Structure 1
């Protein structure tokens, strides 16, 4: 692959900004359109094809916690983008056998994106799940 310039990095960061906006809005159709057909997602709950694994999990997470991501930092190089977020939410609906507590949380989350043809081809995610569990405990 050849060297890519600052314009490519900025365009890739804009895709991540659109991803965050769609995720925060719970607009899963708009969110899905930002990914390649063969996109793979890796995160704390496992990994797999976006349609079989990620979209159902993201819908459940959004329904249970009303997740909201605030971009704190973002860097891009070539076809890669890394983002650090403040993630906030409130445990408002059951999730994977746990009943909601009505409590809110705030934590650090990070995602790494690989872009291809103006879309997200792979996404890796990590978040401070232990902090979330402590904050949401009954």
Structure 2
């Protein structure tokens, strides 16, 4: 696939799968043997089900979640996404119980694409920035 096709896939991943909660797209966008490194660790092996669980947890802890890609850089089969997450904190996030507060956070993700599907995913969120918004009196 071309670099532009890989970027388009990542845009769909965040817009349609994450924000629109289109779990029906999981098989189309993520390979069966894909590794969600947030679940299996860097270099680990996994399955598409790890992605399903990651999304289930996100959707159950952040109401009205919206993921917006702000920038993409790609080379070969690798896409780096700088993206923003917004929503209402209703369940545990980074150890903070649900507060009902709205928040915005930024993350950088690394996605590897093979044959038009995500095969490896890792994300580095701004945990401190999000925790500060969720617990303003504690920080």
- Bin of the TM-score, shorter chain as denominator length: 0.7 to 0.9
Structure 2 residue 67 is matched with structure 1 residue 73: no
User: Which residue of structure 2 lines up, in the alignment, with residue 34 of structure 1?
Assistant: 29
1: distance between equivalents of 2:116 and 2:103? 33
5+ residue gaps, structure 1: 1-6
Alignment of 1:38-77 (within 5 A): 38-43=33-38, 47=41, 49-66=46-63, 67-77=65-75
- SS of 1:49's partner is coil
TM-score by length of structure 2 reads: 0.82
2: distance between equivalents of 1:9 and 1:85? 18
Offset at 1:31? 3.0
- SS of 2:37's partner is strand
Offset at 1:83? 0.6
Work out the number of aligned pairs and report it: 130
Structure 2 residue 109 is matched with structure 1 residue 111: yes
RMSD: 2.2
- SS of 1:111's partner is strand
Note the alpha carbon deviations across 1:73-94, whole angstroms, 9 max, x for none: 10111111111011112112x3
- SS of 2:98's partner is coil
User: Which residue of structure 2 lines up, in the alignment, with residue 86 of structure 1?
Assistant: 84
2: distance between equivalents of 1:36 and 1:46? 15
5+ residue gaps, structure 2: none
2: distance between equivalents of 1:130 and 1:50? 29
TM-score by length of structure 1 reads: 0.82
1:61 touches 1:95 (CA, 8 Å); kept in 2? Answer: no
- SS of 2:2's partner is helix
